[in-house]
Structure 1
Amino acid sequence: MHSAAECQKALCFFCIMNHPDPLVRRSQASHFFQQMPLTDDKDHVLVLSSLRNIAIAQPDDPEFPSLGIFTSMTRLIQKGIHHKQWLLKDQNIYIPYYAAHIIGTYATSNPQSAGKAAESGAIPALLELLRGKISWVEQRVAARALCHLASHNVAFRATMSETEDIVELAMEIASSCLGTVYRQFLATEERNRLKYHCELLTRGLGGVETENRKAEEWGVQLQEWCLYLLTCFAGKGSDRFLDRICESEFLKELCGMRGGIESCKDSPGGLGLIRELCNFEIGRDRISNRREVIENLCDVARSSDSWHETAIECVVLLLKDPGTRNRVIGFSAAAMAQLVELRRTGETITRALLQDYHRIKYGEMRLGSFEVEKALEETWELKVERKKKEKVMNTEELKQRETMAGFLKREGNESFWRGEVEKAVYEYSKALEVCPLKLRRERIVLYSNRAQCCLVMKEAELAIGDATRALCLSGGSRPHRKSLWRRAQAFDMKGLSRESLMDGLRFVEVGRRKDVEIPCFAARLVKKQMHATWPFAAAVKSEVAAGKCKKVERFDHGAAFARADP
């Protein structure tokens, strides 16, 4: 507890905050902020830590922003960058981190505060931290602060003079930061890690395992903040920004920037930036030329990923644009046709797929691909023709079709158990042709059974398609558990670890709701994919290949990492 009676300082922040007169307190606080960068006080770190906590608790409070806190924090950052001797004295190494954190927190949701921060010259100072003038830890809070500033128009205008540098840096850091965090922290022996990094990561609580977990989280957050910063610039629609962000190789890299399952589960990662780019003609044009990007979007759209609807939105925007439709439809028609019975977005997907189908149907145009035309024809049959036919069928005819579908399903089951898998596929397919559309449960089972046959035949893409159709029919709130598992296996067979993991985790979650014990085979798959999707897996592989690591270990939360040679 701070005691004003015992304090010997002429200008003490804690004494100021305890002053009973608000006017005096404001006046003294303003003077304190002016003097703080000019004085050398070992208690500055304690003051900044307290200011950070105050900002987190009351980010919309305009009092400190109106008293010059941004100018004070900006000057402290500049002092840390340009005066290394001062930075390494006492605990001053913490000051730039806290100062950038305070700026970013007050700029989070208050446009007026963001404007004041920009006027104080915070952007050039933060940009220096983003350039890595101190370390990746300060890069993270600088990226965070710049994101919050750029999200407000009043502050975004102040970034215009630094646009090229910010965009270039954000792209470079998004591509390389996980490797940097790995090399400079995770792959460093505990005794050689920077002490202030460890203390910032753990707040003095927890050992090496906590450090590793937090470093992973912060590394992913650094990437995420850089992607969000690029999204802010892309959202302005300037061809200059979009042209640079849509650089071919960077678009390819964006597909893999998905963060960690635990550390960044609320962020769309690179997918969010791709979605923003799809709002603009130049973005859609560049994305439509990258087959691997389209295929990745289709895989995410058909998975249990929290952002699968975002992936669907991207593909739909590309299909609706006459300038990109023909380039995209060849890589997406089959996958998107599997999603047309989704309850929330199925009709939107159907309209995007069939917007010019009448011209194809009557021979006025051709897409040049049998597979595409087949997918569109099946969609038309399912969503238009069969609905019309079944609407005019009488009860007896519908009952006959239901009976026939049940008979064919039993025949398919028997064929499967006899090992006649191809025959079973044929019988399940015939059953689906006659089964009334309203019998969702029966159709779910038929699609799921056919998916199992495709798995046995090592036809991963077909298995994903049928399992997806079954899951679209079952709905997101109560997904068909067997179909989740079958699609997880098919994604694994195809080498799509993240999609396999998301389906595997959903499979486990649905089982827990029903008090079903987690099967060993599911636990093995989840563990395998957790390792494969660890954000630093590529960095480990690169370091091992370069001969900079001598062995690979794993820490408790499922990530694998390599120790650097001493």
Structure 2
Amino acid sequence: MPRSDDSSHVLVASFVWNLAMSDPDDPELPSAGALRCMALLIARALDDDAGPSWLRRHQNVYIPYYAAHVIGSYTIRVPSLAALAVEEGAVAPLLGLMRGSMTWVEQRVAVRALGHLASYDATYPAVARHADELVPLAMHIASACLGRVYAEFLAVSPPQRERYHRDLLTRGLGGAETENRKAEEWASQLQCWSLYLLSCFAFRDRRTHGLVCRDAEFLNDLCRMWGGVVNADSPAGAGLMRLLCRSRVGRCSIVACPRVVDSLCSLSRSSDDWQYMGIDCLLLLLDDPVTRLRAANIAAPCLVDLAELRCLGPRKNVGDAIARSLLQQQQQQLDNYDDTSPQNLSQEAELAIKNLWVLKIERKEREEAMSLDELGKRKALAALKKQEGNEKFYTGDLEGAMASYTEALELCPLKRRKDRVVLYSNRAQCRLLLREPDAAVSDATRALSLPRQANGHGKSLWRRSQAYDMKGMAKESLMDCLMFANRWWFEEKKGSGAKLPYYVVRMINKQMGAAWLFADAALRSKVVNKDGDVDGDGGGGGGGDEWEEEEEEEEEEEEEEEEEEEEEEDNVLETSVSGKLLTISP
């Protein structure tokens, strides 16, 4: 095939592609020379003398895509097939495609195949020989691919798009809407696979950390690379940042970019699947004496909200690890304190850590020494203060209600986690209505850290989503809103056939537009894309404006399960949509 010219070659390449996709572990075709054939076909397409004319004949323009995809499929799981691909000379042609010698479509499958080859011990050296070129190239692709795909495909009217791109995206089925959806998915994959290739280098050779970290602009871009909703199973930028945080040069470079540290704080206080990676990165920064102080000044006020987090997926005692790291910072601060030194903690960080000390050490010891009767009295007083706060809220005294909830939190025993969830969530609602989004995020995060299942309190998710919306943080708001919707469908309304509340749908639609992968590219190109418009009317409906009667819910729950601290209160949601009270009960 590589040395002949026949119109049937594209059919053969498509057939091999189908076989590789259906059974990538089958060694029969690779052993028969399929990988060598695919590598030679790519090399022919890239040949300066014969390539352009050969690609224009028949349907040969499809062949480089199929060939690179075949190599990537056969090397996805079997190390021996990956070694065979290297022996057959696949690295150089793939590198040529990755340089952008053709288009972003071929670039995508080339990055995928090189990422597979870089993931195995046996084949990594063959890829690492090109590290000086591959690392900057992968960084450039990850940063620029969304803009390129938008400019070369999405911003172009369907009739003017490359015909073979449209065919590869849709397989001949579907119109412009399907093309746009698949182009977004492929662009996200191109970005995430470029980051995966960088992660392979960062994991195996820490010397590459210097190559990545010397570009501060890339680090600032990295914190915004999240894969989108269409590629939620990839850790994207968070995964690479966690690897960079495992070296001193990486930690110093990241802590030198306050925007990156701030993005890690936002990730750690979200319901994103990769929340634990944000926490890991911050703990690595705090555990390094060189980066500890600068990281603590930014991260401490955020991490204290997670200090009571018990489990996060398979990880246990996450909050205790956070508390140990922050309290170690306080102890070192006290040991080295100097009134004239500019290297002391900021007032905000110092106050946050002191409050954590009171909560985790002093108050815990004090309550352990109390009798059961005294704890019972404190519980009763906390309930009275909570009722007082509810009454003040009903009369519109938001500051008074907030003060009552604060007093109730100081009285409520730490072991009454369920009661404290309600108090924090109610106080978050007060702060939300007072237009204090930062404080609302803090209280809602504390409420979400207390249940046995992290991020398992529906009302707090919705309130934090609204607070993030006020702050203009579309991705974080979207993640909380989707988590809230997920709980609504699969836990609260399972089997009832109830519809998702309208105000939640509005919020999701708004944030999907604002967090659209191509939002920045569309803004830069000043091209109006109606599918990507952001609804500017607030999108939250008024869904959180009406008070939710938490006390009645708590009383119903306590009648059923008095002593189960990990159980959530009954989720009866009352909210206002267009001024009308909407009650949705289980």
What TM-score do the two structures reach when normalised by structure 1?
0.88
The answer to whether residue 28 in structure 2 is matched with residue 63 in structure 1 is yes
The correspondence of residues 543-558 of structure 1 with structure 2, limited to 5 A, is 543-544=525-526, 549=527, 551-554=528-531
Whichever residue aligns with residue 243 of structure 1, its letter is L
Q: Which structure 1 residue ranges, 4+ long, deviate > 6 Å from structure 2?
A: none
Shift of 1:204: 1.3
Residue 80 of structure 1 corresponds to: 45
Following superposition of structure 1 onto structure 2, how do residues 218-233 of structure 1 map, counting pairs within 5 Å?
A: 218-233=186-201
**Residue 90 of structure 2 corresponds to residue 129 of structure 1:** no
How far is the alpha carbon of 1:286 from its aligned partner?
0.5
Report sequence identity in percent.
47
Matched-pair contact (CA < 8 Å) for 2:511–2:534: no
Change (3 A) 1:307 1:241: closer
The 5 A counterparts of 1:39-438 are: 39-82=4-47, 83-261=51-229, 263-344=230-311, 345-360=318-333, 367-438=344-415
Could you tell me which amino acid in structure 2 is paired with residue 495 of structure 1? G
Tell me the amino acid that sits aligned with residue 104 of structure 1.
Answer: G
Q: Is the Cα contact below 8 Å between 2:392 and 2:398 reproduced in 1?
A: yes
CA contact (8 A) 1:171 1:245 kept: no
SS in 1 for 2:531: strand
Q: Which residue of 2 aligns with 1:485?
A: 462
Contact 1:246 1:283 in 2 (8 A): no
8 Å CA contact retained: 1:511, 1:517:
no
Matches of 2:169 and 2:363, distance apart in 1: 59
- Note if contact 1:70-1:122 (Cα within 8 Å) is conserved in structure 2: yes
Query: Is the CA contact (8 Å cut-off) linking 1:234 and 1:277 kept in structure 2?
Result: yes
Note the C-alpha offset of 1:356. 4.1
Quote the residue 2:503 is aligned against.
Answer: 521
Deviation at 1:66, TM superposition (A): 2.6
Residues 76, 99 of structure 1: 8 Å contact kept: yes
Please give the per-residue CA displacement for 1:63-103, whole angstroms capped at 9, x wherever unaligned: 33333222211110011122211111111111100110111
Equivalents in 2 of 1:84, 1:474: separation in Å? Answer: 62
Greater mean deviation of Cα atoms: 519-528 or 299-308: 519-528
Which residue identity does 2:238 align to in structure 1?
A: L
CA distance in 1, matches of 2:348, 2:157: 54
CA distance in 2 between partners of 1:543 and 1:363 (Å): 52
Could you tell me how far 1:275 is from its partner in structure 2? 0.9
Tell me how far 1:416 sits from its aligned partner.
Answer: 2.1
User: What secondary structure, in the 3-state scheme, does the structure 1 residue paired with 2:102 have?
Assistant: coil
Which residue type is aligned with residue 388 of structure 2? Answer: E
Contact 1:455 1:490 in 2 (8 A): yes
In structure 2, distance between residues paired with 1:57 and 1:145: 17
For 2:336 and 2:228, the matched residues in 1 are separated by 48
CA drift of 1:363 comes to 7.6
What is the alpha-carbon distance in structure 2 between the residues aligned to residue 363 and residue 434 of structure 1? 34
Question: Larger deviation: 477-486 or 75-84?
Answer: 477-486
Q: CA deviation at 1:193?
A: 1.2
**In structure 1, how many angstroms separate the alpha carbons of the residues matched to 2:243 and 2:406?**
39
Stretch moving more, 523-532 or 42-51: 42-51
Corresponding residue number in structure 1 for 2:554: none
CA distance in 2, matches of 1:485, 1:162: 48
CA deviation profile, 1:215-270 (whole Å, cap 9, x unmatched): 11001111111111111111123334533344211100001111221x10101111
SS at match of 2:270: coil
TM-score by length of 2: 0.85
Conservation of the 8 A alpha-carbon contact between 1:234 and 1:242: no
2:522 alignment counterpart: 540
CA distance in 1, matches of 2:499, 2:384: 33
Counterpart-to-counterpart distance in 2, 1:400 and 1:389: 15
C-alpha displacement at 1:361, in angstroms? Answer: 5.6
More displaced stretch, 474-483 vs 147-156: 474-483
- The letter of the residue matching 1:40 is D
Paired residue total: 517
What is the alpha-carbon root mean square deviation over aligned residues? 1.8
Q: How far is the alpha carbon of 1:105 from its aligned partner?
A: 1.1
Q: Does the Cα contact within 8 Å between 2:202 and 2:208 map onto a contact in 1?
A: no
CA distance in 1, matches of 2:143, 2:24: 31
Q: Is the 8 A contact 1:415 1:421 kept in 2?
A: yes
2:565 alignment partner in structure 1: none
